[in-house]
Structure 1
Amino acid sequence: MARPPRFDTDQILDAAVRLAASGGPGRVSMSAVAQAIGAPSGSMYHRFAGRTALLAEVWLRTVERFQQGYFASLHSDPDPRPAARAAARHVVAWSRAHPEEAALLLHGPWEFGRADWSGEHTARADSGNQRVYAALGALAESLGATGAQDRDRITLALVDLPLSVVRRHLRAGEPLPPHAEDLAEECAAALLPKAAG
């Protein structure tokens, strides 16, 4: 009877996240991750075809975990305005709760080797991005934001500005200030299209 593996995939990816958060994607190698968890380097290849696949999985798992909560926030209220404010808060709250993963996401998928990802990994990334923009588009439409400038305003309010609230602190290795969620929500609310009437 075969022995169960000593390290599961999540343990391996957790170690890769820590390496990427502390030193960027360049620190993530099969041998570095194996060393971080005390596993033989060869055992890594039983889980991942190589470094490219490892980097893809690190990025995708992190993004997908973030997006799960983001979608829930966007659908948290039938009124699009509280839902939009909740989504802006989520970006900051998730980053506070998961500082290593948030620091990893500041690098972007191309630094995690997206150009060399498999078709399956690329499709997963594209599918997640399409879901985000479809959800933002639906929220914009429910707010009456139908023009290109209004749609850009929604993206700025619910993606770009909340990220800017956390980026400076994460890059400096500082904790987020207690008011960060409130600030993201206030900025988002100020940018939402005015209610009709």
Structure 2
Amino acid sequence: MARPPRFDTALLLDAAVRLAAEHGPTGVTMSAVAAAAGAPSGSLYHRFTGRPALLAEVWLRTVERFQEGYFAALTSSPDPRTAGCAAARHVVAWCRAHPEEAALLQYGAREFGRDGWPEEHRRRADEGNGRIFASVADLADALGASGPQDTERVTLAVIDVPLTLVRRHLRDGTPLPVHAEELAERCTDALLVAVPQG
């Protein structure tokens, strides 16, 4: 029976996330990840075709883990305002629970080298983004949004507001305050209640 690999993909990606959280995307190189994981460079090249594929996996794994709970929150209640507020709370709560991965949310896919990603990774990113936009559009419809301004208000409420609250603390290197989830929820609710009901 073959021995399991000593340095599995999850361990290598965990090391890459730590580097990205500390140094940004530029700190994630094949050699730096190998050194941080205590692995030979060959372990990296055995699992990733090169740095673009490594950066893609670091970004996508982080975003997909975040999105899993976000989508669940958006469908957690038949009342769209309640679901929207739950999504805002999720943004803050997830970032509190996963500070290193949350640090990556300060960046965009392009800063993680999206233009050089293999096609399969770009497709995964597009599918995830498409799901987000579709879910927010569904929420806007459920709230009775009647035009682009209402839809923009919903996007601001359930994406931009909670992420802005989190990013400020991430940039400053300060912990999220204990009231952050409640603050995000109240701000989101104030925006959602202003959407005219159809």
Question: What TM-score bracket applies, with the shorter chain setting the length?
Answer: over 0.9
In 2: Cα distance, 1:43 partner to 1:90 partner:
35
The TM-score with structure 1 as length reference comes to: 0.97
In 1: Cα distance, 2:68 partner to 2:174 partner:
25
Cα deviations by residue, 1:71-118 (Å, 9 ceiling, x for unpaired): 000000011110000001111000100111111121111110001111
Q: What is the DSSP-based 3-state SS (H/G/I as helix, E as strand, rest coil) of the residue aligned with 1:177? A: coil
Q: CA deviation at 1:4?
A: 2.2
In 1: Cα distance, 2:36 partner to 2:197 partner:
56
Aligned to 2:33: 33
CA contact (8 A) 2:20 2:26 kept: yes
Matched, 1:103 2:100: no
Q: What is the DSSP-based 3-state SS (H/G/I as helix, E as strand, rest coil) of the residue aligned with 1:178? A: coil
Matched, 1:129 2:150: no
Matched, 1:54 2:85: no
Aligned to 2:116: 116
Q: What is the DSSP-based 3-state SS (H/G/I as helix, E as strand, rest coil) of the residue aligned with 2:46? A: coil
Q: CA deviation at 1:136?
A: 0.5
In 1: Cα distance, 2:82 partner to 2:172 partner:
31
Gaps of 5+ in 2: none
In 1: Cα distance, 2:64 partner to 2:4 partner:
27
Q: Comparing 186-195 with 104-113, which one deviates more in the overlay?
A: 186-195
Aligned to 1:78: 78
Aligned to 1:147: 147
The TM-score with structure 2 as length reference comes to: 0.96
In 2: Cα distance, 1:196 partner to 1:170 partner:
36
In 2: Cα distance, 1:50 partner to 1:100 partner:
23
- What letter is aligned with 2:174? E
Q: CA deviation at 1:194?
A: 4.6
Aligned to 1:65: 65
- What letter is aligned with 2:3? R
Q: CA deviation at 1:3?
A: 3.1
- What letter is aligned with 2:23? G
Q: CA deviation at 1:2?
A: 4.1
- What letter is aligned with 1:9? T
- What letter is aligned with 2:185? E
Gaps of 5+ in 1: none
Instruction: Tell me how many residue pairs correspond in the alignment.
Output: 197
In 1: Cα distance, 2:61 partner to 2:16 partner:
11
Aligned to 1:15: 15
Aligned to 2:88: 88
In 1: Cα distance, 2:126 partner to 2:136 partner:
15
Alignment RMSD: 1.2
Identical positions, percent = 69
Q: Comparing 58-67 with 164-173, which one deviates more in the overlay?
A: 164-173
Q: CA deviation at 1:42?
A: 1.7
In 2: Cα distance, 1:132 partner to 1:87 partner:
11
